[in-house]
């Protein structure tokens, strides 16, 4: 089953592993906003994914509710979508267990995210390896048609597609085969300090990352100090990933094409004026988000009510899918 129904289902989420950043905004939330009217949207907070790397419990709890506030601040209006917390719903881990029994171990070892996140780690836990199976369960549980993500998650959505097809063939037609929605511009925002790595919430170097809550002067400072090179031409060149990343950010923030932006800055010499213009564009882009976040972040009652309502909407859907799956695989009913 490919994209079904008159109003397709969109499902996606961001881990409560820190403050959302420019990559999360340009590659994810700012695009999700445009889907609210057209699709039935489920946005969740994958706290079960977050514990695949060590977390401080109190910080995780706080970050989870902050993430709800940040979703809303980014424009995800809870009246137009369902926002929920993964661990509130019965079904995600249960379905993951079933799907794990169909997943070859080799496929999990080949995942880029597993390789990146386990590199140079003394202790690697099996949850990190199993992460993509849980993600497949997140998606298939709601029979999502579309999964908007950044480029980093493409491989995981491919696994979800493989598992949906495998389950459908092994048992009978059950799951929608999800389609990843990945846009070119903004899909991979890189670190300001090491542009060969993607910008990440969990990067301990705060100067490598622009957070959606950064004040204007902080944004200016971080962009001014962003790594470039000794040249002065503002263009996309794989040999010069620093300036290429800044140009990509500029295009995503201003909705300009790469060609338009290259032409605009063709006569500029030196990076400083371009960096100033980039900082201005980012400040304008993020200012409303920062303001909205400040207004709601401490209203815990409101934020709790949003996720309670979200859970009420999605839990029956999850239970229905799980019951169907259990029936098909031969689990005896109670
Ligand atoms: P972590 O470092 O904890 O994995 P993260 O910054 O990678 O955090 P996620 O919560 O894993 O963020 O991802 C949330 C969404 O943001 C996903 O759709 C992901 O594809 C997208 N995303 C993450 N980083 C980037 C980036 N640098 N550029 C564009 N999109 C991104
Ligand atoms: Mg990530």
pLDDT, tens only, 103-131: 999 999 999 999 999 998 888 999 999 99
In short, whether 189's Cβ falls inside 6 Å of ligand 1 is: yes
Hey, whose CA ends up nearest to atom 16 of ligand 1? 24
Position 322 pLDDT exceeds 80: yes
Residue 1 scores a pLDDT above 50: no
pLDDT band of residue 96 (cuts 50, 70, 90) is very high
Question: Region 9-25: what's the mean pLDDT?
Answer: 95
Locus of tokens 């994209």? 3
The Cα–Cα gap between 106 and 94 comes to 22
Question: How many of the other CB atoms lie within 10 Å of CB of 39?
Answer: 20
Radius of gyration of the chain (CA): 21
Complete DSSP assignment for 19-80: S-BHHHIIIIIHHHGGGTTTSEEEEEE-HHHHTTS---HHHHHHHHHHHHHHHHHTT--TTT
Cα(310)–Cα(1) distance, integer angstroms: 26
Q: Give me the pLDDT at residue 97, please.
A: 98
Q: Which ligand is nearest to the CA of 17?
A: 1
Q: What is the mean pLDDT of residues 279-291?
A: 97
Nearest CA to ligand 1 atom 26: 23
Q: Are 131 and 99 in contact (CB under 8 A)?
A: no
Closest residue CA from atom 18 of ligand 1: 149
Is the whole-model pTM more than 0.85?
Answer: yes
Average pLDDT in the 301-330 region?
98
% of the chain residues with pLDDT over 90: 85
**Angle of the 300-329 helix axis to the 92-100 helix axis, nearest 10:** 40
Interval 195-210: pLDDT, tens: 999 999 889 999 999 9
Q: Which of 6-15, 99-108, 179-188, 215-224 has the lowest mean pLDDT?
A: 179-188
pLDDT band at 3 (very low <50, low <70, confident <90, very high): very low
- Strand residues in the chain grouped as ranges (E): 9-13, 40-45, 82-85, 146-148, 179-181
For the chain, the average pLDDT equals: 94
pLDDT at 156: 98
Determine the Cα–Cα distance for residues 189 and 256; give it in Å rounded to an integer: 16
270: closest CA among 228, 217, 221? 228
Distance of CA 238 to the CA centre of its chain: 25
pLDDT at 4: 43
Q: Is the CB of 15 within 6 Å of ligand 1?
A: yes
| Shortest-distance atom of ligand 1 to CA 186 | 29
Q: Specify the pLDDT at position 230.
A: 84
Nearest-ligand number for the alpha carbon of 201: 1
CB pairs under 8 A, 24+ apart, for 251-259?
A: 251/185, 251/186, 252/26, 252/185, 252/186, 252/189, 253/26, 253/278, 253/281, 253/282, 253/285, 254/281, 258/185
Cβ neighbours around 87 below 10 Å, total: 16
Beta carbon of 252 within 6 Å of any ligand 1 atom:
no
151: left (phi over 0), alpha (psi -120 to 50) or beta: alpha
Q: Is 156's C-beta closer than 6 angstroms to any atom of ligand 1?
A: no
CA of 176 from ligand 1 middle (Å) equals 24
Catalytic residues: 117, 198, 201
Predicted pLDDT of residue 14: 95
Contact 274, 46 (CB under 8 A): no
d(CA 329, CA 94): 13
Q: Is 153 near ligand 1, meaning CB less than 6 Å away?
A: yes
CA angle 162, 168, 174 (to 5 degrees): 115
Assigned token pair, 293: 């976040």
What does the pLDDT average to over 63-79? 97
- 203-231 mean pLDDT: 95
pLDDT at 22: 96
Is residue 2 very low, low, confident or very high in pLDDT (cuts 50, 70, 90)?
very low
Task: Decide: 285 and 21 in contact? Cβ < 8 Å.
Answer: no
């Amino acid at each position: 089953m490919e994209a079904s129904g008159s109003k397709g289902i969109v499902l996606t989420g961001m881990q409560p592993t820190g403050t959302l950043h420019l990559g999360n905004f340009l590659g994810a939330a700012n695009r999700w906003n445009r889907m609210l009217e057209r699709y039935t949207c489920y946005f969740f907070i994958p706290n079960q994914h977050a514990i695949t790397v060590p977390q401080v419990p109190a910080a995780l709890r706080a970050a989870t509710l902050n993430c709800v506030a940040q979703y809303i601040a980014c424009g995800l209006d809870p009246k137009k979508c369902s926002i929920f917390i993964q661990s509130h719903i019965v079904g995600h881990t249960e379905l993951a267990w079933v799907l794990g029994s169909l997943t070859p171990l080799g496929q999990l070892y080949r995942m880029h995210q597993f390789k990146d996140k386990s590199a140079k780690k003394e202790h690697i836990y099996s949850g990190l390896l199993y992460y993509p199976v849980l993600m497949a369960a997140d998606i298939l549980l709601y029979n999502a048609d579309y999964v908007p993500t950044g480029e980093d998650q493409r491989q995981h959505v491919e696994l979800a597609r493989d598992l949906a097809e495998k389950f459908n063939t092994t048992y009978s037609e059950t799951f929608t085969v999800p389609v990843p929605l990945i846009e070119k511009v903004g899909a991979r925002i890189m670190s300001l300090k090491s542009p060969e790595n993607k910008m990440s919430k969990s990067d301990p170097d705060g100067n490598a990352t622009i957070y959606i809550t950064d004040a204007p002067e902080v944004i200016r400072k971080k962009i001014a100090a962003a790594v470039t090179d000794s040249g002065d031409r503002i263009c996309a060149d794989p040999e010069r990933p620093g300036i290429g990343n800044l140009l990509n950010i500029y295009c995503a923030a201003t909705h300009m094409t790469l060609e338009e932006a290259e032409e605009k800055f063709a006569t500029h010499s030196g990076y400083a004026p371009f960096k100033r213009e980039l900082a201005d564009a980012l400040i304008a882009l993020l200012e409303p988000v920062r303001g909205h976040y400040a207004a709601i972040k401490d209203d815990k009652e409101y934020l709790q009510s949003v996720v309670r309502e979200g859970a009420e909407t999605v839990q029956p859907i999850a239970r229905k899918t799980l019951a169907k799956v259990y029936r098909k695989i031969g689990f005896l009913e109670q």
